[in-house]
Amino acid sequence: MKIGRKRKGKAEIPTSSMSDIAFLLIVFFMATTKFDVKEGIRIVLPQAADEGAEQTQTLTLTENEMTRLQITEDGRIAVNNDAPRNFESGELDALIQQKVRINQQMIFKVITDREAAYNDMIRVVDRLKAAKIEKISLSTN
Amino acid sequence: MANFKKQRSREVAIPNGSMSDIAFLLLLFFMVSTVFVQEKKFWVERDRWPIAESIERIPRNHTTTIYVMRDETILIDDIPTRIESAEDVFVSSTLIRKKADDPELVVCFRTDRDTKYGVMSDVMRQLQSAETLVVAFETQQRQN
């Protein structure tokens, strides 16, 4: 019987497809990665009034310094002492621009009725933010 | 007489030996940066949020979420509460604790768009007393 000499095979793990696998995984993670952010309207609230403070300063602001936007229960808006009425977004933008032309540093005070919908307040604040207004005050009556 | 040597033609090849290293480096980056967000319950569905245009992106790592539902139930850390009077200080006490843990805390509101503003005003008053002054009203992006 003829016994052949065994050839020693070189043991190797094939690595040529390694980069294919890696790129496949990258594509998966790129497709599924959602950078963890929230989206919304950011506001910085004022400090709470200190009840123990001996002196509180009262400022009287004119209509040229502050515009009051009073949102009624049914979503209508009263500007300063005017009667409340419905405002379309475009009308609100025009109003804000008009007020800013009077005073670049105009303060907008948004007074929302407790019974008004939250959405109505957001709609007004959104238009103010869109007009790059920084001085926004939120209050209720 | 000049001696002209025969030019050897070199084999042009882009070295791709480190290709898998680069690939794995990228893979590692995406694996580390991927966050699978899992919330216990989505108390206020996204389609109930208000719609706005001028929205900002707020990184989640310094945020806490307050849900305000249409029936005026408030949820912090999935614990429901209500603000019936000035003595209900659960919101402010929770936020004082959170603010102590993270001084850069941003409070995000996920509020149903038809919620009455009164309850939002009450919550914001408690935020002021807890000195957590940076808030964000989460909204949907207006689709043009």
Sign of CA dihedral A4, A6, A7, A9: positive
- Decide: B111 and B137 in contact? Cβ < 8 Å: yes
Chain A (12-31) residues lying within 8 Å, Cβ to Cβ, of chain B? 15, 18-19, 22-23, 25-26, 29-30
Query: How far, in Å, CA of B112 to CA of B93, rounded?
Result: 24
B92 within domain boundaries: yes
B4 within domain boundaries: no
- Supply the pLDDT for residue A22: 81
B57 within domain boundaries: yes
- Supply the pLDDT for residue A107: 92
Burial category of B8 from C-beta neighbours within 10 Å (exposed 0-12, middle 13-18, buried 19 and up): exposed
B35 touches chain A (CB under 8 A): yes
Q: Kindly determine whether residue A26 and residue B26, on different chains, have CB atoms separated by under 8 Å.
A: yes
Q: What is the pLDDT of residues B15-64, one digit of tens each?
A: 777 877 888 888 888 888 777 666 666 678 888 889 898 888 888 888 88
Range of the domain at B71: 46-141
Query: How far, in Å, CA of A70 to CA of A139, rounded?
Result: 9
Tell me the H-state helices in A4-88: 18-32
B71 within domain boundaries: yes
Q: Pairing mode, if any, of strands B63-68 and B74-76?
A: antiparallel
* 3-state DSSP assignment of residue A98: helix
Q: Kindly determine whether residue A126 and residue B58, on different chains, have CB atoms separated by under 8 Å.
A: no
- Supply the pLDDT for residue A67: 92
Domains and CATH numbers, chain A: 66-140 (3.30.420.270)
B82 within domain boundaries: yes
- Supply the pLDDT for residue B38: 60
Q: Pairing mode, if any, of strands A37-44 and B134-138?
A: antiparallel
B28 within domain boundaries: no
Count the neighbouring beta carbons within 10 Å of the beta carbon of residue B52.
Answer: 23
Query: How far, in Å, CA of B89 to CA of B74, rounded?
Result: 12
Q: What is the CATH number of the domain that holds B90?
A: 3.30.420.270
Q: Is the pLDDT of residue B128 over 60?
A: yes
Number of domains in chain B: 1
Query: How far, in Å, CA of A5 to CA of B107, rounded?
Result: 77
Q: Is the pLDDT of residue B3 over 70?
A: no
- Decide: B53 and A93 in contact? Cβ < 8 Å: no
Q: What percent of chain B has pLDDT over 90?
A: 25
- Supply the pLDDT for residue A134: 87
Q: What mean pLDDT do residues B104-110 have? A: 91
Q: Please list the rounded mean pLDDT of every run of 10 residues in chain A (141 residues).
A: 70 78 84 77 82 67 88 92 88 92 91 93 93 89 78
B70 within domain boundaries: yes
- Supply the pLDDT for residue A1: 62
Helix (H) or strand (E) holding A102: helix A89-102
B94 within domain boundaries: yes
- Supply the pLDDT for residue A60: 81
- Supply the pLDDT for residue B40: 62
- Supply the pLDDT for residue A23: 83
Confidence of residue B90 (pLDDT cuts 50, 70, 90): confident
Whole-model pTM: value is 0.73
For residue B54, which residues of chain A lie inside 8 Å, CB to CB? 41, 126, 129-130
Q: Kindly determine whether residue A42 and residue B58, on different chains, have CB atoms separated by under 8 Å.
A: yes
- Supply the pLDDT for residue B37: 61
Sign of CA dihedral B56, B59, B60, B62: negative
ipTM for the predicted complex: 0.71
